[in-house]
Amino acid sequence: MNGKIYSLTRLVKAFVYSWRGLKFTWQNETAFQQEILALLVMLPLAFWLPETRIKSALLVMSLFVVLITELINTAIEAAIDRHGDEHHHWAGVAKDVASSAVLLALIQCAIVWLLVLF
């Protein structure tokens, strides 16, 4: 019984931490807000437009890859910004690379939608 309570407590704490991360990102990242709004528009279309559930799944996954990548980008930026405002070459490289990951996720999403729908 004690192991189950511990697991439930751990699960609740993990959910709370995750929710705080989503809340932080929503409040501090305009790009994340835009991506969520796009998700709210595109998610119903992902279920309505394709002929098969597999195609719907591909569209939905491509949308969530963008959000996941944005969250990772925000985490990297927050960790780097924690160390101060001074410019450091490698801090800039890390931020640029994380931003590039978001760009590739957006390109991937567009390609998946084009391939599935056309």
Residues with catalytic function: 70
For residues 73 and 102, is the Cβ–Cβ distance under 8 A? yes
Q: Which CATH number applies to 30-117: 3.40.50.720, 1.10.287.3610, 1.10.3720.10, 3.40.50.740?
A: 1.10.287.3610
For the whole prediction, is pTM greater than 0.85? yes
10-68 pLDDT, tens digit each: 999 999 999 999 999 999 999 999 999 999 999 999 999 999 999 999 999 999 999 99
Q: What percent of the chain has pLDDT over 90?
A: 86
Domain ranges of the chain: 30-117
> Of 98, 112, 2, which is closest to residue 57 (Cα–Cα)?
112
CA triple 85-103-47, angle to 5 deg: 130
